[in-house]
Every structure is written in structure tokens, then in C-alpha cells.
């Protein structure tokens, strides 16, 4: 289909699902080789203390109560810190399997191109071009991270991005907003009835 140049990473019906405000689920979206390498990389970096606790997790509130165990919280390895404007350890070529992370970055770049073209959202692509490498410099219009939820950690029901009109006077100051959230699960033999970790989504009303 000449009108859809990125079929290998994003099936055509995915666009229709997202356009309709629904959740697109793509089983086996990543090749098994990539999944294994990324999972091993994430585990190595976690074991080496590169992850940091994320205060958004519900368990994190116990930090103020003196009963905080970061291994049971939501731990992250971010690519970018919006608050400081600095790159995060996910982009550090000296850490872990940077080749695997770059391969993921290239695949996600193709996803952003497909979504920008198919949904008419050019802001998904920095300066009209895809970021095909973690080390390529461009205005940050996306965030990537490894995320690990410890036993009992979870996020409360929330909205990733509110419409600008709901943000008050600062709502329209930024040139872009979060438009798409793309989750990639690396779990091996995942059984939600045993391990939890399901994503619960609620229809807009």
C-alpha cells in the first residue's frame, strides 16, 4: 500500500484504532531477539543501580512515612529530564547495551513518522525528521525510558495529558503536547493473573 510506508512497524488498522480514541494492542511488535536484549539490558542496568525511584507510584507516598523501599516502587531509567532539560542515562552510550537501545530508538522513530503522517500530527517528529539514534541531537518532543514496577507498586487512575484549555493560562505556552503514549512490555512468560501489571484504560465520556 503506497499510502502507508511504515507497515513493518505499524499495521494500517492501528491508525484507525487510535483515530477512534481506542487503545491499539500489537502483540509481538518487537522481534523476540530485541525483546531479550532489551530485557537483559534493563535488568543489568537495574542491578547496577542506574534506575531511580519515581514518586508517581502509589507506593512512593510511604517515603514520607519512613517506610520506603525503592525496590518495591516504580523505578525508571529515563532518556530525558524535562524539568532540567538534560539527557538521562537511557541515552548514555557507555551504559549497558546501547546498540539494542539505539535499535529501539530507530524503530520508534518509524512509529512517530507513521503516526505523524497517518494522524496528521507533524509535531510528533522533531523538525520534520525522525530521530534514528539516541545520540542524535534534536528538540525533545518525546521521552523514552525503562520502567520497572516493584511488587505492589502501581499508578493511580490518571490522564497522561490534559487538553490545553484545562491547564489554565499556561496551557498554550508550549509548542507541543503529549499526543501518544506507546508502551512496550518486555516481560517473559507474563501471566497477569499471577504477576499483575495490567494496563487499565477507561473510555472517555
Determine the pLDDT at residue 17: 92
Q: Does 5 have pLDDT greater than 80?
A: no
Residues pairing with 52 in the sheet:
76
pLDDT digits (tens, 9 = 90+) for 163-173: 767 777 776 66
Determine the pLDDT at residue 62: 55
Q: Which long-range contacts (CB under 8 A, 24 or more apart) does 9-13 make?
A: 9/107, 9/110, 9/111, 9/114, 10/110, 10/111, 10/114, 10/115, 10/118
pLDDT digits (tens, 9 = 90+) for 177-201: 677 888 999 988 888 888 778 888 8
Binned at pLDDT 50, 70 and 90, residue 102 comes out as: very high
Mean pLDDT of the region 28-54: 93
Binned at pLDDT 50, 70 and 90, residue 77 comes out as: very high
What is the overall mean pLDDT for the chain?
78
Q: Does 41 have pLDDT greater than 70?
A: yes
Cβ-Cβ contacts under 8 Å for 173 (sequence gap 6 or more) = none
pLDDT digits (tens, 9 = 90+) for 6-26: 445 788 789 999 988 888 999
Binned at pLDDT 50, 70 and 90, residue 66 comes out as: low
Mean pLDDT of the region 28-33: 90
**pTM assigned to the model:** 0.80
DSSP 90-129: GG-TTSS-HHHHHHHHHHHHHHHHHHHHHHT-GGGSGGGS
Amino acid at each position: 500500500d503506497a499510502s502507508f510506508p511504515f507497515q513493518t512497524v505499524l499495521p494500517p488498522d492501528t491508525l484507525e484504532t487510535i483515530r477512534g480514541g481506542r487503545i491499539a494492542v500489537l502483540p509481538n511488535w518487537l522481534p523476540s531477539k530485541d525483546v531479550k536484549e532489551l530485557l537483559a539490558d534493563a535488568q543489568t542496568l537495574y542491578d547496577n543501580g542506574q534506575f531511580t525511584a519515581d514518586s508517581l507510584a502509589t507506593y512512593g507516598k510511604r517515603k514520607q512515612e519512613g517506610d520506603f523501599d525503592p525496590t518495591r516502587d516504580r523505578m525508571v531509567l529515563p532518556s530525558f529530564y524535562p524539568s532540567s532539560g538534560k539527557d538521562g542515562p537511557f541515552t548514555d552510550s557507555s551504559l549497558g547495551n546501547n546498540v539494542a537501545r539505539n535499535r529501539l530508538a530507530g524503530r520508534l522513530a518509524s512509529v512517530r513518522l507513521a503516526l505523524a503522517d497517518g494522524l496528521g500530527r507533524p509535531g510528533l517528529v522533531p523538525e520534520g525528521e525522525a530521530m534514528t539514534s539516541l545520540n542524535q541531537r534534536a528538540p525533545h518532543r518525546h521521552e523514552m525510558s525503562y520502567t520497572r514496577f516493584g511488587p505492589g507498586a502501581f499508578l493511580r487512575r490518571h490522564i497522561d495529558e490534559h487538553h490545553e484549555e484545562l491547564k489554565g493560562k499556561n496551557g498554550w505556552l508550549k509548542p507541543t503536547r503529549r499526543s501518544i503514549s506507546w508502551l512496550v512490555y518486555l516481560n517473559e512468560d507474563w501471566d497477569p493473573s499471577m504477576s499483575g501489571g495490567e494496563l487499565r484504560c477507561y473510555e472517555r465520556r
